[in-house]
Amino acid sequence: MKGTTLTRSTPIVPALILGIFAVLCWVFVLLVSLTPAWKQVEFRLLDSMMVASAPNKSAFPITVVGIDETSFAELKLQWPWPRRLHAELVDRLAAAGAAIIVFDIVFAEPSNKEDDQHFADSIRRAGNVVLAADRVYRESSGVRQWQRLDPYPTFTEAGAQVGLATVALDADLVIRQIPVSGDALWRTVIVRLTQQYPEITPNLGISPGSLIRYAGGDHTFPYVSYHEIVKPTGSIPADFFKDQVVIIGRDIKASPDVESAQADLFATPFLASTGWLMPGAEVHANIIETVLGNNSITRLSGGAMAALLALVAAACAITMRRWRPLWGALGCAAIAALIAAGVWGVFLKWNLWVPAGSSLAIIPLMYVSLGGWSYVTEQMRRKEITRVFSLYVTPQVVDYLIAHPERINLGGERRNITLLFTDLAGFTTFSEALSPERVTYLLNRHFTGMTDILLEHEGTLVQFIGDAIMAFWGAPLDDDDQAYHAVATAIAMQKAMAELREELAKEDLPQIRMRIGIHSGSAVVGNLGSAKRFGYTAVGDDVNLAARLEGINKLYGTGIMMSSDTARQVEGRIALRPVDRVIVKGKSQAVEVFTPCENVKVTELTEQAIHLFRSQEWDAAETCLRELLAIDPKDGIASLYLKRIAAFRITPPPANWDGAMELEKL
């Protein structure tokens, strides 16, 4: 089956997952950016940039004349003021050399005939007066419609030019957009200005959606109260209005209320920072200055914005390719800083508004999304490791594997391991004599004790096969001392088995004995099985050899049998007794096998006997073997060699014999 490869502790997010999250975040932010609520967020960010970048001074000769509270107090008049007073204002401004006189007041209805005539005459004399028109929403006879209010014909016939003073309010009642109608007030003023001053060449092709570049907050432009002109005190220099665009309008700040547009006060991007609404006259002053300076703000197109969001999402995906929370956060912060710097830079240099909110929002969204995915996959990885290894290794090893998943590969890999197989001698026979319950009880006691020992020695318990146990060292974790751990485990198992036999004897249960085979070699280790059912195990020739070594114990009467590959690795630390040179079934090469033995005399005699046996010195070999039987009459190794010597005395071995014993059934 196809294995599952566990990721590293700093997992690499697959490209497909990165792409999916990038696209999902991109689409989500695009959709959210179209909502009214999010547009308000973008407007607030834009306002903050406008406020931060405002020069707070006028670059062009524009002056605002305010019909303010002071003027009302000084003139002691009720609104509307008599038009002869406006006529006097026009005459004084014209005499002072004003370039254009602009009234941000709609004179739509006639008043006192004599006053109207005075005003018309002053307009005619000045020759540079622009009057405001407006649109109002009215209901008449059940019909609701917008109506345009133009100046009273007497004034236009006197030469007054007309400009539509209507401004567009955004959803939050803030004025940001430049009106684009053909007769907008600012356009009428600038066209007239270019006629007087041909050297002025502003770009009048303002596209819909272009934004005002405010010079500053309220009273950024030179400001004069109305009464100071019609009742001069000498405080205004004689040339103060020379070549100035003078805009006259109401400036009544009784209450900084956004809804007070009826008082010709409007919210601007500076409302939050100054706390004051801006008079309409000064709004028009900002529009005129914006166009004269070719400083209108253009919003990044929808297509370009979508492309930018895609680029940001891709940058986040690349940055968080290898998921590390801290480094990912720092990378996201760096991307956010680059975006903020870029947005600010293009705003200052090219008056281009890039909605920063959307660009910045996609960054934490990507971080949280990928972080969430990584958390979920990490939990799944932990569960997978726990599921796969909790039955095979100790909880401490499982915890280590969870912390260091790079140490394992469940897809199958070739590793050098030491294998251990156990089997109960004669289990089939005595199990037939016991009830199923007793057999189960006996096996569970046996397996519990052996498993505890195996795990204590850092082994990997692979499986129980009937009454047998399969285990190995060297996987999933590397084990530089795997052979020693395996042999030490086998010795401890046999010691525990002796104690178990004593306990079983008291319970009138069979005296079970266990055989163990150990071999060190190469095997394919990993999750092996079907697509629906699999387990962590090892396969290969060396696995088979380890299993066969367990079986040959019964031939020699030993409890533990290991190959020379294992014996070499424990030499000097565990006393070993040579057993034989065998050729197991299915193999052509002989394997030297050993068994643990603490009796130095027995080991020395065995070494001598085997050497003499392979030299075909039968008498000398037989002498050593009989000495071994004198030490232990039940010595299976010595008994087997004596039988073989007896057979060779009758039928000598072939000339090329190397002392190996071929085991046809094992």
> Domain residues of the chain, as ranges?
15-48+300-385, 60-292, 398-598, 599-666
Does residue 550 register a pLDDT over 90? Answer: yes
Q: Report residue 462's pLDDT band, with 50, 70 and 90 as the boundaries.
A: confident
Residue 1 pLDDT:
33
Is the pLDDT at 440 greater than 70? The verdict is yes
Question: Would the pLDDT of 571 be above 80?
Answer: yes
The pLDDT score that the predictor gives to residue 406 is 58
Residue 142, pLDDT score: 62
More confident residue, 375 or 396: 375
Q: Is pLDDT above 70 for 643?
A: yes
What mean pLDDT comes out for the span 45-62?
Answer: 95
pLDDT of 563 strictly over 50? yes
Burial call 192-229: b when 16+ CB within 10 Å, e when fewer: bbeeeeeeeebeeebeeebbbbbbbbbebbbbbbbbbb
Work out the pLDDT band at 259, boundaries 50, 70, 90: very low
CATH of domain 398-598: 3.30.70.1230
Residue 571 CB partners (closer than 8 Å, separation 6+): none
pTM attached to this predicted model: 0.65
Least confident among 240-244, 407-411, 532-536: 407-411
pLDDT at 426 over 90: no
Q: What is the pLDDT of residue 411?
A: 62
Half-sphere exposure of 534 (CA within 13 A, CB side): 20
Least confident of 142-146, 164-168, 179-183, 628-632: 142-146
**Would you state the pLDDT for residue 254?**
53
Mean pLDDT of the chain: 88
Q: What is the pLDDT at residue 331?
A: 87
Q: What is the mean pLDDT of residues 435-446?
A: 89
Closest by alpha carbon to 279, among 65, 563, 97?
65
> What pLDDT, on the 0 to 100 scale, is given for residue 256?
43
Burial 399-427 (b: 16+ CB within 10 A, else e): ebbbeebeebbbebeebbbbbbbbbbeeb
Nearest-Å Rg of the Cα atoms of the chain is 50
Burial class (CB in 10 A: 0-12, 13-18, 19+), 643: exposed
Of 109 and 8, more confident: 109
Cα torsion angle, 24, 25, 31, 35, sign: positive
- Reported as a single tens digit per residue, the pLDDT across 312-337 is 989 888 888 777 778 888 888 999 99
Q: Is the pLDDT of residue 649 over 80?
A: yes
